[in-house]
Amino acid sequence: MRISLKLCAAAAAAVFAFSSAASAADVKLPDTLAWSAYNTGTTGYNQSVAIGKALKDKFGVDLRVIPGKNDISRMGPLRTDKVQFVANGAGTFYASEGVFEFATPDWGPQKVQLLASATSDANLSVGVAADAGVKTIADLKGKRVGVVRSSPALTIGTEAILAFGGLTFDDVEVVEFGGYGAMWKGMISGQIDAAFASTVSGPTKQLEASPRGIYWPPTPAADKEGWDRVQAVAPYFVPHVAVLGTGNISKETPHDGAAYPYPILITRADQDPELVYSMIKAVHSEYESYKEALPEMTGWALENQTFKWAVPYHPAAVKYWKEIGVWTDEMDAHNNKMMERQDVLANAWATMKDKGLEGDAFAAEWMKVRAEALQAAGMNPIFK
């Protein structure tokens, strides 16, 4: 749930007061902090560095940003306390659920929780070649759709958007590629008709400039049934109106589509509450000082926060958002459900240690155990 502009306006006075009052005296941060983030040069890394500069200028805090090439390399330092926070992506959800690379004896479901997130002016969806004759997601039936081997995020993203149109992979011709770049080259060369991407990604610009052109079928928020299907596959997706992207997406011709927050600022559930509270207070109160560092920094604005997500917010972060008047009872009820889900998963994981399984056998048994535990609690396993 993105925060409404009405609620944002109602809280404006409180936000201003807290922003003005956030001094070195009431933000209690250590002299040195560390975040892990995506690789050097990525938007997640660059945004973290920009926030770090603002923290240094206002509070004298040195923020070290440690790059990680995948979810494991970003989450590992958090687990060992080498970093206190992670500027992460959709892998946050996979870690919380204990699936894919986290479905191993060394990992399992992680009690990771949010402080804040950023949602930019772009969308994340399935783009189609303009010459494919597709206007709606349902029109993709029988079309050639690209997927990337060994990329759960791309595959699940594609599956979720197809679900909006009432389709599954059985309804389309799935074409596998070894990588994201190869898949989009396949779009340009005519091997496929549709593929998942950000509306501002480089390969989509190449398709737009090619004879095929590009079009982004909408997934409007008003279609509640369609969105129920999307979130049954990938609960981390939220409805989002983009004003930036290929295919003539602009403020004048926005795209009513889908996105998920990135980066997402997370920590462990057992992190020091005072540190978490001061961290979110500092990051939010200093927004004005870093918002122009990069175009995508606007994603950190209050109105771009997603407070009802697939992973819970840390109680100390909730405390801050309540204090400035933007956290509602509805958000609280949702967050409590997400907390309960993490508890169910943790209890299910505790039963795995004495099973004596390894490798694929362990992963298969864990997926069965977690599904049964979630179903018994009246929750959707999502992954089976």
| Identical fold between 5-119+261-340 and 124-257 | yes
With a cut of 50, which residues of the chain have pLDDT below it?
Answer: 4-6, 8-21
State phi, psi for 291 to the nearest 5 degrees: -65, -25
Q: Which CATH class is domain 124-257?
A: alpha beta
Q: What pLDDT is recorded for position 195?
A: 98
Helices 273-285 and 43-59 cross at an angle (nearest 10°) of 90
Residue with tokens 């956290």: 327
Strands (E), 77-192: 85-88, 112-117, 124-129, 144-148, 173-177
For residue 12, the model assigns a pLDDT of 45
Q: Domain residue spans in the chain?
A: 5-119+261-340, 124-257
Contacts (Cβ under 8 Å, ≥6 apart) of 17: none
- What are the Cα distances from residue 25, in Å, to 78, 275, 276, 282? 27, 14, 16, 11
What is the pTM (predicted TM-score) of this model?
0.85
Q: What is the pLDDT of residues 63-78, one digit of tens each?
A: 999 999 889 999 999 9
Annotate 221-289 with DSSP letters as a single string: TT-HHHHHHHHHH-TT-EEEEE-SBTTTBSSSS-EEEEE--SSEEEEETTS-HHHHHHHHHHHHHTHHH
- pLDDT confidence of residue 17: 42
Report the chain's C-alpha Rg in angstroms. 21
CATH number of 5-119+261-340: 3.40.190.10
Classify the phi-psi angles of 356: left when phi > 0, otherwise alpha if psi is within -120 to 50, otherwise beta: left
Quick one: tokens of 209? 């400039």
